[in-house]
Amino acid sequence: MAKINFGGVEENVVTREEFPLSKAREILKNETIAIIGYGVQGPGQSLNLKDNGFNVIIGQRKDSSSWEKAVADGWVEGKTLFGIEEACEKATIIQYLLSDAGQIAMWPTIKKYLTPGKALYFSHGFGITYKEKTGIIPPADVDVILVAPKGSGTSLRRLFVAGKGLNSSYAIFQDATGKAKDRVIALGIGVGSGYLFETDFKKEVYSDLTGERGVLMGAIAGIMEAQYTKLRSKGHSPSEAFNETVEELTQSLMPLVAENGMDWMYANCSTTAQRGALDWKNKFRDAVAPVFDDLYESVETGNEARITIEANSKADYRVKLEAELKELHSSEMWSAGAAVRKLRPQE
């Protein structure tokens, strides 16, 4: 492991320098990795593992859209693509990458194939952390591990193809074989992580749920909507409101933040922008701090898990979800966004 200083705090991280791909391949050379689920994380992780030289198979329900996607991605029925139960039987490592709701529904089937010495791998701590609600309680004689890429499976794959990596956390919930750490680090390197930082299942899900509901999705969408609506109410055109709210942020400023940090982005903006941003930053921070207090408490107490599980278990959940997403898609703001994106210069 390498010791890295993060803002004055030292952390142990794993990089490809001290844990190269060749070492990962050696550790997993006799393992069969079954990817169960081919939705959000499954395609990116499985394709990266395959391209990195690991023995990977896919377990998916036949005649589903995900099965067809797997075929289109080059997985071959009867060779690298199987039904869920057959894949689980063949596997020594089961990567359980179904949605949280899917994991709950499929657990009785998966559990039958968790024979002694196998490893059960997650990319989200939800099922294990809230096991009283999900019923996901692994047998004591299997390794239970986690690698959680800090981004979508699509981003994981795109960065891999570009020769880059997406940072991931890793955790060990249960080490039955004495090999759990080697297994989880090797898998983290194999799926294309930039570097790996240690966590535990509970911290992973607490930070993940907070991030998704907060800065990564919920908060930023809400703030964008509030600013866009205010500009429109004051007579600004949809194009002007969208460009000042979303386009400049995503196409100009966030790449600068990603490159060298927020302070560097500030330093590369006009003095007028710097002065205003510094004056208003703390006001926004103080305004939303109580919301984050409420959000983290809701995650910590299990309330967010309860809401998610109850919603997902309703027969009309998918219909209602599609209606909510359609409302977002059809809003003036994101309709304007679709028009703006079409006007971007083509490469």
- Strand-by-strand arrangement of the 81-82 sheet: 2-6, 9-15, 193-198, 166-174, 143-149, 119-122, 93-96, 33-36, 56-59, 81-82
State mean pLDDT over 187-195.
95
* Alpha-carbon torsion, ordered 65, 67, 72, 74, to 10 deg: 160
Residue 3 binned pLDDT confidence (cut-offs 50, 70, 90): confident
Span 182-198, average pLDDT: 96
Which of 4-13, 35-44, 135-144, 160-169 has the lowest average pLDDT? 4-13
Check for a shared fold between 2-199 and 211-342.
Answer: no
> What is the dotted CATH code of the domain comprising 2-199?
3.40.50.720
Band of the pLDDT at 141, cuts 50, 70, 90? very high
Sign, Cα dihedral of 310, 314, 318, 319: negative
pTM here is 0.91
pLDDT digits (tens, 9 = 90+) for 236-290: 999 999 999 999 999 999 999 999 999 999 998 999 999 999 999 999 999 999 9
Bridge partners of residue 166, in order along the sequence: 193
CATH homologous superfamily of 211-342 equals N-(1-d-carboxylethyl)-l-norvaline Dehydrogenase; domain 2 (1.10.1040.10)
DSSP E strand boundaries for the chain:
2-6, 9-15, 33-36, 56-59, 81-82, 93-96, 119-122, 143-149, 166-174, 193-198
CB 219 within 8 A of CB 285: no
Residue 347's pLDDT band (cuts 50, 70, 90): low
| Residue of 43, 104, 113, 124 with catalytic role | 124
Phi, psi of 244, rounded to the nearest 5 degrees: -75, -20
pLDDT digits (tens, 9 = 90+) for 68-111: 999 999 999 999 999 999 999 999 999 999 999 999 999 999 99
124 is annotated as an active-site residue: yes
Where are the chain's structural domains?
2-199, 211-342
The amino acid present at 125, given as its one-letter code, is: G
Instruction: Give the model's pLDDT for residue 318.
Output: 87
- Exposed, middle or buried, 163 (CB in 10 Å: 0-12/13-18/19+)? exposed
Tell me the CA distances in angstroms from 290 to 126, 149, 282, one per residue in order. Answer: 25, 28, 13
Crossing angle of helices 218-233 and 201-213, in 10° steps, is: 10
